[in-house]
Amino acid sequence: MGRQPCCDKVGLKKGPWTAEEDKKLISFILTNGQCCWRAVPKLSGLLRCGKSCRLRWTNYLRPDLKRGLLSEYEEKMVIDLHAQLGNRWSKIASHLPGRTDNEIKNHWNTHIKKKLKKMGIDPVTHKALSNATEQTQNQPQQQLHQPLEEQQNQQPLPVDFDHKFEHEKSQNKKPETSFESSTITEAKEDDKIIAPEFETMELMNGFCTDEVPIIEADEILMPCVPSSSSTSTSSSNSTNFLEDLHLPDFEWSCNYNDNSINNNNEDNMALWDDEFISCLNLLINDDDDDDDKKQVFDAPLTQYPRMVVDSESWACGLF
């Protein structure tokens, strides 16, 4: 006998989330933390299944998400990680703070794939397209989940490491991957840090940087001030109301993923600062007359003991 079903699937709402639903979900999670997703819809009054709530939160509502296009640096990270991990988007995403697997997957399918093809690189094998095309055309589905071991035998084409990224790397806080010690053979296990090897990559010189707006590092890691450069062109009526409200962007700790240092939580994230909280107040209280919701975020942060605000916990989806 297993557990109770997560939700009876009758009468559940599907499709795009409304601002009202978002508010409910945010309010619930900020006051209760992420407990079991099964319980979230019932307790928060949402007519969604827990899975849908989790997805909405992790892919869209989480305050630690970066918005906008992936920077060139991030894009190269993705390419290199993809060369090593294949379509394991969540693993790839775990190396890119503030990015979700869904976002990376979408970006890969819409931008990077095309770029690589344009550059003559097969996006699946990361080898020169002339050979790889024939291969993939003959065996179209085969390598989507190519095992790591196999990929290690098919090293990606060498790509030059653009000096621009040296700069971006230094600006972009310390990446959790170590570029210096990187070789593909170091990628022993999925969960170990897998280091890109940009130093030896030369093909990236052909990267069409003019096709993609370059986001400078200081645009990616904004200080915690309301963003005036939201990428949203359609404001107001969408479910994208978080952007409309110009919630503060989010700054990762320099020592993201550095367990030895992360014990000291309070310095790690500037997320829950006063400004963010006041934005949330706006978010929750802006249009309803539901008085008992008001002041939810007026209280000091210490009243939310379940929220551990270090970046690692956020990254792990834990409170």
Partner DNA sequence: AAAGAATACAACCGCCGCTTC
Partner DNA sequence: AGAAGCGGCGGTTGTATTCTT
Q: Kindly list the residues in this chain that would bind DNA in the complex (CB under 7 A).
A: 1-7, 13-17, 36-38, 48, 50-52, 54-56, 59-60, 69, 87-91, 101-103, 105-107, 109-111, 144-145, 233-234, 238-239, 317
Spatial contact of 219 and 229, defined as CB atoms under 8 Å apart: yes
Helix %, strand %, coil % of the chain (to 5) = 45, 0, 55
Sequence-distant (6+) residues with CB within 8 A of 6 are: 37, 38, 49, 50, 51
Q: Give me the least distance between CB of 56 and DNA, in Å please.
A: 5
Write out the two tokens for 162. 């653009």
The CB-of-319 to DNA minimum distance in angstroms stands at: 12
Nearer to DNA, 57 or 256 (CB): 57
Q: How far is the CB of 37 from DNA (least distance, A)?
A: 4
Choice between 35 and 299, CB closer to DNA: 35
Q: Looking at beta carbons only, is 152 or 200 nearer to DNA?
A: 152
By the 8 A CB rule, do 259 and 315 touch?
Answer: no
What is the smallest separation between the CB atom of 163 and DNA, expressed in angstroms? 27
What span, in angstroms and rounded, lies between the C-alpha atoms of 150 and 187? 12
Of 1 and 10, CB closest to DNA:
1
Taking the C-alpha atoms of 27, 30, 35 and 36 in order, what is their torsion angle to the nearest 10 degrees?
A: 30
Q: Which two tokens stand for residue 3?
A: 């557990």
Smallest distance from DNA to CB 239, Å: 5
Q: What is the DSSP letter of 46?
A: -
Q: How far is the CB of 72 from DNA (least distance, A)?
A: 15
Task: Write the DSSP string, 152-179.
Answer: HHSPPPPB---HHHHHHHHHT---SS-S
What are the backbone dihedrals phi and psi of residue 128, each rounded to the nearest 5 degrees, phi first?
-55, 140
- Please give the DSSP secondary-structure letter assigned to residue 301: G
The 10 Å Cβ neighbour count of residue 103 is: 19
Half-sphere exposure of 39 (CA within 13 A, CB side): 8
Residue 285 Cβ vs DNA, minimum distance, rounded to whole Å: 22
Q: What's the CA gap between 76 and 165, in Å, rounded?
A: 9
Question: Is 154 or 200 the residue whose CB approaches DNA more closely?
Answer: 154
Specify the DSSP class assigned to residue 305. Answer: T
Which C-beta is closer to DNA: that of 138 or that of 234? 234
Q: How far apart are CA 291 and CA 295, in angstroms?
A: 8
In whole angstroms, how close is the CB of 275 to DNA at the nearest point?
23
